[in-house]
Structures are given as structure tokens and as C-alpha cells.
Structure 1
Amino acid sequence: MTEPHVQSEVGPLHAVLLHRPGTELKRLTPRNSDQLLFDAIPWVDRAQEEHDAFAELLRNRGVEVLLLRELITEALHDPRARAAAVLTGVDERKLGADISDTLRSHLSSVDDAAMAEILIAGMTFEELPAAEGQSLVRRMHHPHDFAIDPLPNLLFTRDSSVWVGGRVAIAALAMPARRRESSLTDLVYAYHPRFSHAARAYGAHSAPVEGGDVLLLAPGVVAIGVGERTTPAGAESFARSVFADGLAHTVLAVPIEQTRSSMHLDTVCTMVDRDAVVMYPAIQDSLHAYTLRPLDGDLAVSGPSPFLTAAAEAMGIDHLRVIDTGLDPVTAEREQWEDGNNTLAVAPGVVVAYERNAETNARLADAGIEVLRISGSELGSGRGGPRCMSCPIIRAAL
């Protein structure tokens, strides 16, 4: 299988997009970590070791691992991609005309790898190329302020794009610190030879939708979390798009609590088998869904009804098996915070999970799920687990 195609969360994984963390994580400080959406300052060398082990585990399971930095660099071989990259990297409203012109000229002169590094890791005012004349903008910024913001959350490749069938949806990211991620992902899908025939399902110019909120429960059935990152308008627009393209017959819009601990649907619920989810028990009885279906070129909306009931009905099964994440509320809350629910399925009944979530992993194993454990002490500092860090490109059909 070489052509991108994804119809489910658990079909055998053949190719996946990851981003190995780099200099952008070294830009994090106690002063800017909140703005850049990290709860702690990661030890970058260890984070890279953990990510390398994650990637190697996937390769050992027969998964082709595509690295985003390499794809961006290769896409920049195309002059059109370089022109688009310069446009997205330079914010004239922030920098003013003079610095913007100097920066555009500098970016146009560097090689592809250097441009990719700047787009990902950012650039401080101190690192800007010298320019003639006086600049109020330069004088009024601290040398270590960012002229181009770094993208430490690029680690979480799930959010900026999601494949539905043979089409890619470019996410519209809600948080200011992440919005430029979509432009880099878009660059890859638009100009990299690997994706030259990729059709689009949704555009980043649309209402906010993030990939962590999109679960492909079964072929034709999509669940979309609506909360901190994905808006009702985003869920509705996404539904209209996949219906128009014939990619789904049912979309479930699932309201979730708008908090840091449950920023996406996949922080509280992920698929681990054809008919099974791992779910944070505190929301099991309260999670509801609105059911959207196409009707004569428009939408039919019903509900809300219990999520598990609506999902099973849409999937055409009697019920969804639920594996919860703790024997007691304290354990469940701790492991949910540490991404115990955020698993990546590499095949039906086989998932990658952080090793530190011992209770959740034990319960998964007791339910017949094979758990491939990875270290995530540093990778998890941005609040994301194995699913967050991976964008499946190719999955075999169930």
C-alpha cells in the first residue's frame, strides 16, 4: 500500500507522519511555556531519545515512518513551496515593513534545510540578519523575543491534519501558538512529490477543527469532539465537507469539557479495537453526542443522546466495549492527565501507550489488548500521548 488512505482508528497501520523534536523545544522557557502551551520545560535530549524509540518501535512493527522535518525540507525544493513558506513565516503586522523585507530576503537566500529549521524553530530578534537604517520594532523588542515564533507543538502531528479515506483535511488550529503549524503541513501536502495526488477534504481557512478531536470510529463514522479547540461551527463544517465528498454517512459531534486536561476528544477516549474504546471513567456516563447525517444536500441533526449508544448505532454493532482507566477516581484522574487514554492503535487490539500509565495498561491487557509501552517522561510535557504524536497516512481496511 502506497497511496494515503485511512478509514478507521485501528486498521493495520502502514505509514505514519511523526515529527522528531528539535531546537524548537529548546526555545521553551518558564517565561514563555504557558504561551507556547507546555506545562513543563522538557529535557530535549531525553525527549529525542524517547521519540526515536517510539519511531523505532513502529518501524519494527512494519510501519513506514515519515518525518515532518524531512518532508518540509524536500517540499522546499519546489520554488512555489519556498515562496509560500516565506509568506507564512514573515508577519509584517508584527515586524513592520523594513524588517519584513530584510527577513524575506534572508529566507529566500538560505538552503532548504536552513529554511525548514527557521520555520520550525523560529528566530529571535537577536538572530535577525542585519539591516540598514533604524527600526523602532527592533529597538522596542528584547533581543530574545521571537520575530518568528517557534513551533514546539509540531511534535503533535495528529492535530494539524487528518486523513479521511483518501483525502486529507488540513486542520484549522484554534490557539495562536499553533496556527502556523497548518501552513507547514499544507506545504507538505501541496508540494511534496509523495502527496502530489492528494485530494483535500477540509481547508485550514475554515472554522476551527483539530485532528485530536477527530476519531474515525468505523468506515463512514466520524466522531468530533467539540470543546476547547474545535468549535460547533468547525464540527458542522467538517461534517458538511465529508458528506459532500462521500467520506462518511454519520458524524457524531461530542461536547467535551473545555479544560486543559481534556483539550481534545482523544484525551478522554480512543479506539483500541474494532469494537472497544479506552475511556476516562469520569465522563463515561455524561458524554453525549449530536448525530449529524446528510439529508437532501443539507444536514439532519438529532440528539443529544449518550455517546456510547449513538456510536454503537452508527457503527452497526450492539455495543462498544469500554475499558476505563482506573479502579478509583484518583488513579483515573492521574492517568487521564498523563495521557492514559491517548493510545495509538497499530492494529486491531494492539496499541502504543506510555509505560507510566501502569494501571490503565494493566486494564487494557486484562481486556485482551496488547500494549506496546514507550517512555514519555519528557514527550508528555506538552500534554500529548502516542496518538497525539502521530498522524496515520495509510491504514489497511478492517
Structure 2
Amino acid sequence: MTQGSPDSAATPPHGADSEVGRLRTVMLHRPGPELKRLTPRNNDKLLFDGIPWVSRAQDEHDAFADELRRRGVEVLYLTDLLTETLEQEEARAAAIEEALRDLDLGDTMSGYLEGLLGESSPAELTTYLTAGIRNDEVRGGFGLVTSLLAFDDFLIDPLPNLLFTRDSSVWVRDRVAITSLAMPARKRETELTELIYTRHPRFVGTPRMHGAHLEHVEGGDVLLLAPGVLAVGCGERTTPAGAERLARQCFEAGLAHTVLAVPIAQERATMHLDTICTLVDVDKMVVYPNMADSLIAYTVRPTGDREASGRLVLEVGKAEPFLVAAAAAMGIDKLHQIDTGLDPVTAEREQWDDGNNTLALAPRVAVAYERNDETNARLEDAGIEVVRIAGSELGSGRGGPRCMSCPVSREPLGA
């Protein structure tokens, strides 16, 4: 079984209704051979901001996981779950079909790869699917297509962004939303995640929604502000249509009564909503102050009526300041803002280093990169216990503790 996995009788219920309920189970991805595929020529194409020192990134990630375990969090690893899933023949066949579906390699190499993947063990297949296969690594299937490819061209691309498990799935109460990643280089991440949630014994019967084939929604844009209240960032990666689709599904399933659609300026450092703000308590949020005043939200609720087609009629409110709209939806007097950094300059630097991207372990307890001194000091002044972790190499992909973790189980608030 996956490291840290309990027996079935002790398995906590899956699901989350907030960002800050006590964290019980989390899915991570330990940096692996896929990161060793990055070069200065391909890292932009593969959507990774830098080229990490992989062994140091692994050490930092291991320390992160160990800190979670010390605080009673069950740690699941995505590749362990995938390998266990691939022990089933039907799952193997589905994974291979998905991996080869969109490849433009010609019949000769495609046929060879189908045989190679089909004969591999579950662990080997996991490595092929996550670390990819390079042209100079195959021992057959040679033909016109591969003759014209460079030796270091990938036949199956690696997935270095698997590190950011938050993006490919989001739990909303007891249901998991399989997201639809906007960039082609990340499409297979959702396919592998969906395979796990569909076929791994632990998750059999889990209700699912959304999916890789629907409008684009990425997990970094979805914040569970409070039970029944979601905020969805709309910008570079999540489209307004994706936000509407997710909202409809949540309303139909009774998972939410309010969704806040939050437009995000398309800047390099603000890809997702969680690069701008994250919750650290039921009424406290760390926010990038250079964008706080311009951040707005449109409140979306079901009216209770239905169109002739049967679809819910949605009411979209006028734009309001995000923190004001969020507090009203959450049923609190005020959502307190804790600024990133000390001033606009340090705020910009520490936001770039993921100072906003915290992972709440419980109300008033949050994991943060140790390098963001000013932000961490502000959090502590506001009564937040800061669990500091190293991130000099983990942060090279422009993602913090929240990006690197998908909560699978949180205690309900008030439990």
C-alpha cells in the first residue's frame, strides 16, 4: 500500500469543506526523474520556470512530507497510487491508450511503443508515463518519423508539473472534481489523476464531477472559503466558462450555495488565485497587497428556477471588492487581510517566492516557505503558527506548499 496508508477500517472519510479544517490526508508527488528531463531548451515548453537541483528538491520535499506526518497527516504519493492502479489490466490498457492517443509518431513507432508499454511492469509503466520516453532511449520502432527527430526529442513528454498536485483535482465536500488543465503540456496529468480516482481500490465509488474534457478549470484557482462557499479565479488557466460549469455542478449536487468568480490579471507571477491569496484561518487570508485593492468578485448563486432545458438559472451579482464579497458569502463580519511582505517591493519579491501560497494544516496553522521572512513575520503577528519548510529548489517551478498538495481529507469546520 501507499506509504503512510492505513488499513481500510482506519481510512478517514474523503472530502473537504474548507481550506482550513484540520488536514487528515493529502496527496503529494515527490520530485522524480521527470524533473531530470528539464533543460534550458525545453523547460519553457514543459511549463517549468527553472531547472531544479533534483536531489536537493527531493530532500526538501521529504522534509515537507515528514513535517506533515509529524502533525498527524496521512501522506499519499501520486506515483504510488498510480502504480497500484496499474496492477489492473483494464487500468493499464486505458493508461496506454491515453498516452498514445495524440502522438504524431507514425504507425511504426506507435506500434513499438504500444508493445513496450504493454510489456512493462506497473512500476516501469508509471515511470514511462510520468518521466516520458526520449528518441534516443528506444531500441526499436525506427522509421522515417524517428529518423527526422532529434536524438533528444521526446516521443512521450515528461510531466514535471506533477509536483503541483493541487491543479489536477479538487475535493468539494465528499466529491472530487477532476479538473481540465489549460495547457497541452499538462493534459495527461488530469488523465492519470482521473485514472487513480476511478480505478484505485481506495477511491472506488467516489463521486466525481467536472473532467478533463470540459471547460478549463485548474485547482490552483479554486478556494474553499467556507462550507458551501467557493472562490474561483478566472484568468490565464481557468476560463469563465469553466468557472460557470463548476458552479453549476456544485449547485446541482448541493455542494455549494455561493461561488465567487474572481477575475485575475494575466501576469506571469499571478497564474492562479492561490498565488494571490490563501486562507490561514476561518477569517484570515494572506493577500498580495499590490493586487488587493483591484481584486474583485462576481457573486454567483442559483435562483431556484430552471430554464426550459432543465438547467439551473444563475444569478450573477455586480462586481464587488473581493474581500467584501467573500466575507458576505462566508457569513462573517470581515475577512482580515494579512499582507505579503513589508512594503510594495518586498511584497513583490516574496509573492514571486510563493509567500502567499500557504497550506493550512488547521485553523491558525500554516505551512510556508522559510525564505519569506517578512510575510512569515506578519503571519505570526496575526496569531498564525507558521510551519517553515525549505524551498530553494522546490520553488524553482513557481509553486508553494499549497500548490504541492491536494487535500484528500479535512475535518469539517466545527468538528
Give the structure-2-normalised TM-score. 0.94
AA aligned to 2:302 is P
Distance in 2, Cα, partners of 1:238 & 1:223: 11
Alpha-carbon distance, 1:93 to partner: 4.3
1:389 paired to 2:404: yes
Distance in 2, Cα, partners of 1:330 & 1:146: 40
AA aligned to 1:321 is H
Secondary structure in 2 aligned to 1:262? Answer: coil
1:3 paired to 2:18: no
Secondary structure in 2 aligned to 1:303? Answer: coil
- Of 296, 307, 321, 2:322 maps to 307
Report the aligned-residue RMSD.
Answer: 0.9
- Of 299, 318, 336, 2:333 maps to 318
Secondary structure in 1 aligned to 2:379? Answer: helix
Partner residue in 2 for 1:249: 257
Partner residue in 1 for 2:66: 56
Matched-pair contact (CA < 8 Å) for 1:201–1:245: no
Matched-pair contact (CA < 8 Å) for 1:268–1:341: yes
Matched-pair contact (CA < 8 Å) for 1:226–1:253: yes
Partner residue in 2 for 1:239: 247
Structure 2 alignment gaps of length 5 or more:
1-10, 306-311
Matched-pair contact (CA < 8 Å) for 1:91–1:100: no
Structure 1 alignment gaps of length 5 or more:
none
The change in CA–CA distance for 1:328 and 1:124 in structure 2 (over 3 A counts) is same
Matched-pair contact (CA < 8 Å) for 2:187–2:212: no
1:331 paired to 2:346: yes
1:288 paired to 2:296: yes
1:270 paired to 2:285: no
Partner residue in 1 for 2:136: 126
Partner residue in 2 for 1:348: 363
AA aligned to 2:68 is L
1:357 paired to 2:368: no
TM-superposition CA deviations, 1:235-285 (whole Å, max 9, x none): 011101111111000000000111220000000100000011000001111
Secondary structure in 1 aligned to 2:301? Answer: strand
AA aligned to 1:162 is V
Matched-pair contact (CA < 8 Å) for 1:102–1:129: no
Matched-pair contact (CA < 8 Å) for 1:125–1:146: yes
1:24 paired to 2:34: yes
AA aligned to 2:278 is T
Distance in 1, Cα, partners of 2:209 & 2:256: 11
Secondary structure in 2 aligned to 1:94? Answer: coil
Partner residue in 1 for 2:5: none
- Of 179, 184, 189, 1:171 maps to 179
TM-superposition CA deviations, 1:261-313 (whole Å, max 9, x none): 00000001000000110000011111000111012122111121111111000
Partner residue in 1 for 2:25: 15
Partner residue in 1 for 2:151: 143
- Of 229, 239, 261, 2:269 maps to 261
1:211 paired to 2:211: no
Partner residue in 2 for 1:42: 52
Alpha-carbon distance, 1:70 to partner: 0.2
Aligned residues: 396
AA aligned to 1:216 is L
Alpha-carbon distance, 1:92 to partner: 5.1
Partner residue in 1 for 2:114: 104
TM-superposition CA deviations, 1:211-240 (whole Å, max 9, x none): 000000000000000011000111011101
Distance in 1, Cα, partners of 2:207 & 2:317: 30
Secondary structure in 2 aligned to 1:235? Answer: helix
Distance in 2, Cα, partners of 1:129 & 1:253: 50
Secondary structure in 2 aligned to 1:150? Answer: coil
Alpha-carbon distance, 1:129 to partner: 3.6
Distance in 1, Cα, partners of 2:107 & 2:278: 47
AA aligned to 2:389 is I
Distance in 2, Cα, partners of 1:354 & 1:326: 13
Distance in 1, Cα, partners of 2:40 & 2:269: 20
Matched-pair contact (CA < 8 Å) for 1:164–1:201: no
Secondary structure in 2 aligned to 1:55? Answer: helix
Distance in 1, Cα, partners of 2:256 & 2:209: 11
- Of 89, 111, 114, 1:79 maps to 89
1:182 paired to 2:190: yes
Give the structure-1-normalised TM-score. 0.98
Distance in 2, Cα, partners of 1:274 & 1:390: 19
Secondary structure in 2 aligned to 1:90? Answer: helix
Matched-pair contact (CA < 8 Å) for 2:168–2:218: yes
Distance in 2, Cα, partners of 1:92 & 1:370: 47
Secondary structure in 2 aligned to 1:397? Answer: coil
